[in-house]
Amino acid sequence: MKLRTDLALISEWIVEDSHVLDLGCGNGTLLAHLHETRSVTGYGLEIDDENIVYCIQAGVNVIHTDLNQGLSDFSDDSFDYVVMTQALQTIHRPDLLLLEMLRVGREGIVTFPNFGHWGARISLLFGGVMPTSRALPSEWYNTENIHLCSLHDFEKLCHTLDIEVLQRAVVDTTHHTSRSMRLMPNLFGEIAIYRFRSKPVKRIYQRKKK
Amino acid sequence: MPDILSPDCVGLVTPQSHKFTTPLALNCGRTLPSYELIYETYGTLNKNHSNAVLICHALSSDHHAAGYYSMQDKKPGWWESCIGPGKPIDTNRFFVVSPNNLGGCKGSSGPNTLNPDTNKPYGPDFPIITVRDWVKSQARLGDVLGISQWAAVVGGSLGGMQALQWAIDYPKHLRHCVVIAAASKLTAQNIAFNEVARQAILSDPDFHAGHYYQHNTLPRRGLMLARMLGHITYLSEFAMRKKFGRELREGKINFGFDVEFQVESYLRYQGSSFVDRFDANTYLLMTKALDYFDPASEYKNNLSAAFAKLQAKFLVISFTSDWRFSPARSREIVKALLDNKKEVSYAEIKAHEGHDAFLMPIPRFIQTFQAYMQHIEISNK
């Protein structure tokens, strides 16, 4: 089975034999792939009971979890990576969850639909309506995406939270990348992918708190 | 009664029993010099004995987990929904062993069996058995059947506690552990319910300090009350409302204390039919085993420390409306496994049926359970 390009990209960022927590792991595709290709261990967290069955079928350890409740079942520094694909924008408090990700993991990886994409901008500027697109198919009143942001917004939040961005990539909804996307990611990228960690200062502060 | 046996039923079954003559040292300090365990098996043990699944039963069940004894039986075994060809515990793949626990009243040594020293029923003299004692006796049954490692040990409620104890006491002797609607220890509220049930039995004038067999009587009222109380706690408020509402048996209130509401009639029926099939001394013993279970107590109340040496992979399942063994209790088990980076999957199944949900064919539960069991590898070398 061919892996979605954003998942393939993430896989390349993850070092072999690491311990990974996948937030909103869906049917377990990423973890199953990481286990097979990189001997990665770990758990997926998922709230949809049908997806939980798929995960178990795929041999992926999955824990029924509501991400809005935080990650209190996990102790500090218990994972090498905490990954969250296409779920950040559905969370009640993305800022708190990002901090939780870096509490339980050494590094975080997220992907989200970029609200700074030119299509979204045009829709609001000329149409005067909330954008819907391939990456954001739902209407404003029934969408699960309650906290949309652009690449700039995300990076600003990272700065506020003392989070250091280690790597960034953008792709379109077919999960391909192009020259224009690389040059002006916030305008042309449909899906953003980030790898990040706590800034050293923050890490020392967190250790002191313990 | 079944007119024809469904193809996903194990069919007609016959219990077997084994007499153990090596003394069993018990948690309470006493020793059972000899004892008998009655059990049923379904499916076929493979050549290298790698496909055996042990079923641990709950408070009021027994070894009859699946199938029928005869075509005249009204009901199949208690876990018919989960055991059989093509079911989660697939008897086409697995060899299933289902014993009646020590202290039970359905054929294994217990208060209602003869004490070889006195030739009278043990009655209240039967020693108090703990979950750990059960596991030990089940391990010995495994030895008799030539099973040195279970593919899985599976149980719901009190049965789930036994599965947990298995993983702690015999880490190398099981590959998978399935813990359904269980807890790593009872809450004060849960112990309180058990205490009321026990007091109902103990205060029945027909109890005769547990020697009612000699008086040719039964503490009917006490055991009935205990069961009625238990039954309320096994159902959810929603399930009761849906099943009975405020429906009246005669369509009107009679301003008296006879049965008026349907729910009263149901509870009385459940209580009185239970008296005919269950022993009061066993009920007392089983509730004590529940109350005492607390594997973390030996590890300074640190469940994670208790789980440090586990080797089995885990499936933990809870049900949303189960308030007697709530999802929060299952999560404690899951958290302690996660602390140790053990392999575990956890599913919280949406169900209205309360604690009893684990006995019912709830589609998502069955799918989840089945997906896990199908993944268990059985080597045929």
pLDDT for B279 equals: 97
Q: What is the mean pLDDT of residues B338-365?
A: 97
DSSP for residue A114: B
Rounded distance between C-alpha atoms, residue A94 and residue A194, angstroms: 14
Q: What is the pLDDT of residues B19-57, one digit of tens each?
A: 999 999 999 999 999 999 999 999 999 999 999 999 999
The residue in chain A having the minimum alpha-carbon distance to the alpha carbon of residue B336 is A73
Task: Look at residue B1 and tell me whether its pLDDT is greater than 70.
Answer: no
Evaluate whether ipTM surpasses 0.95.
Answer: no
CA-based end-to-end distance of chain A: 44
pLDDT for A29 equals: 95
pLDDT for A8 equals: 86
Of B157, B184, B326, B330, the active-site residue reads B157
Q: A53 at the B interface (CB within 8 A)?
A: yes
**Which tokens hold the place of B297?**
């107590």
Rounded distance between C-alpha atoms, residue B181 and residue B159, angstroms: 9
Q: What is the pLDDT of residues B133-161, one digit of tens each?
A: 999 999 999 999 999 999 999 999 999 99
CB contact under 8 A, A55 and B345: yes
When the pLDDT of each residue in chain B is averaged and rounded to a whole number, the result is 96
Q: A50 at the B interface (CB within 8 A)?
A: yes
Instruction: Tell me the sheet residues that pair with A149.
Output: A114
Give chain A's domains with CATH numbers. Answer: 5-197 (3.40.50.150)
Q: What is the pLDDT of residues A31-40, one digit of tens each?
A: 999 999 999 9
Which range is most confident: A127-131, B160-164, B259-263? B160-164
Minimal CA–CA distance to B137: which of B278, B264, B17?
B17
Q: B350 at the A interface (CB within 8 A)?
A: yes
Rg (C-alpha) for chain A, rounded Å, is 17
When the pLDDT of each residue in chain A is averaged and rounded to a whole number, the result is 89
Instruction: Count chain A–chain B contacts defined by CB atoms under 8 A.
Output: 53
Q: What is the mean pLDDT of residues A21-39?
A: 96
Residues in chain A: 210
Q: What is the pLDDT of residues B161-193, one digit of tens each?
A: 999 999 999 999 999 999 999 999 999 999 999
Kindly report the CA angle at B170 between B90 and B344, in degrees rounded to 5? 60
CB contact under 8 A, B368 and A57: no
> What confidence category does residue A210 fall into, taking pLDDT thresholds of 50, 70 and 90?
very low
Q: B151 at the A interface (CB within 8 A)?
A: no
CB atoms within 10 A of CB A33: 20
Does the predicted TM-score (pTM) go above 0.80? yes
Which residues on chain B are in Cβ contact (under 8 Å) with A49?
Answer: 347-350, 364, 368
CB contact under 8 A, A43 and B315: no
Task: Look at residue A209 and tell me whether its pLDDT is greater than 60.
Answer: no
Phi, psi of B4 (to 5 degrees): -130, 155
Q: What is the mean pLDDT of residues B209-235?
A: 96
Do the Cβ atoms of A21 and A81 come closer than 8 Å?
yes
The residue in chain A having the minimum alpha-carbon distance to the alpha carbon of residue B351 is A49
| DSSP three-state, residue A208 | helix
Handedness of CA A60, A64, A69, A73 (dihedral sign): negative
Which residues on chain B are in Cβ contact (under 8 Å) with A50?
Answer: 364
CB contact under 8 A, A56 and B344: no
Of B345, B348, B349, the CB nearest to A61: B345
CB contact under 8 A, B346 and A64: yes
Rounded distance between C-alpha atoms, residue B43 and residue B85, angstroms: 9
- Establish whether B318 is a catalytic residue: no
Rounded distance between C-alpha atoms, residue B363 and residue A146, angstroms: 32
pLDDT for A167 equals: 94
CB atoms within 10 A of CB A154: 25
**Which tokens hold the place of B191?**
């112990």
Instruction: Tell me the sheet residues that pair with A194.
Output: A110, A168
Phi, psi of B16 (to 5 degrees): -120, 165
User: Cα distance from A90 to chain B (closest Cα, Å)?
Assistant: 21
Handedness of CA A16, A18, A23, A26 (dihedral sign): positive
